[in-house]
Amino acid sequence: MLYLAVIFAAALHTVSSQSLSSGCINTLAGVAANPDAAACLNPNALVPLVAGGTDSSVVPVIDSWLSGLCSAPACSNATLQAVVANVTAGCSTELSSSGISPDMSSSLAGLIQQYYPTARQVVCLKDGNTNCVTQTLNNIQSTTGSLSLSNIIGLTTKAPNLPANVTCTNCVKQAYNIINAAYPSLLASAASDLNTQCGASFLDGSTPSGISQSATTNTAPASASSPSSAKSVALQANVFALTISALLVVLSGIALLA
């Protein structure tokens, strides 16, 4: 949860500061306006990150976004596949720097479909009434200072040095439990470090007291409905880029725990 929370927030800075081509902007705006993608990814909640300044904390916006995302039905495989196909084709220039090409759409969609349920479970964990990603980001802020778009990239390098009261929380433990149950090989190399810092009980597989799952279990059906009209093509494109980036970083970030 710690590493996921940090890189999750860092993704918002990366996309918000990137100059997108007109073709990519049009593609993202079109996907964002599609009711299927909008319903399960809740992109409109990230509008304040695009429209606001770069010096305020990103945590309240992320908390609002995750609240809506977790209470909404999960994305169907068809919706995820359509999003990946459109984005890899329309934003090929931007993605090429990461080694992603349009002909990888099918394999990439398969990976996202595979990891999406686990990632969604992790980002929808709650400790009492507080989302675990929100709690973790707030804990990091108490050590490093405000997590804003202007400083968040530099803070990612400090994640391994955060104190145990940030890394060894009930939220982090349950995130470990979920990922380890689904993909144990990813966390094999992390077990020793976690045992040293957090104690053997951290790895016992039990659900910590007060931790619950807020993700709804139903899945939104993919429809053939027409996209809704966009208020602003550029704004919707940037907002949806933030949404996709944050979600993909959470998905890929699972591997960083290993």
Residue 206 is predicted with a pLDDT of 96
User: Would you state the pLDDT for residue 90?
Assistant: 85
Q: The domain containing residue 165 runs over which residues? A: 2-257
Residue 147's nearest CA partner among 54, 248, 65 is 54
Q: For residue range 4-19, list pLDDT tens digits in order.
A: 555 455 455 555 545 6
pLDDT tier for residue 74 given thresholds of 50, 70 and 90: very high
Supply the mean pLDDT for the chain: 76
Confidence category of residue 227, pLDDT binned at 50, 70, 90: very low
Identify which of 47-51, 97-101, 216-220, 235-239 has the greatest average pLDDT. Answer: 216-220
Total count of domains within the chain: 1
Top-ranked range on mean pLDDT: pick from 143-152, 220-229, 230-239:
143-152
* This prediction's pTM: 0.79
pLDDT at residue number 222? 60
Mind listing the pLDDT tens digit for each residue in 31-40? 777 888 888 9
Question: What is the pLDDT at residue 253?
Answer: 40
pLDDT in the model for residue 125? 96
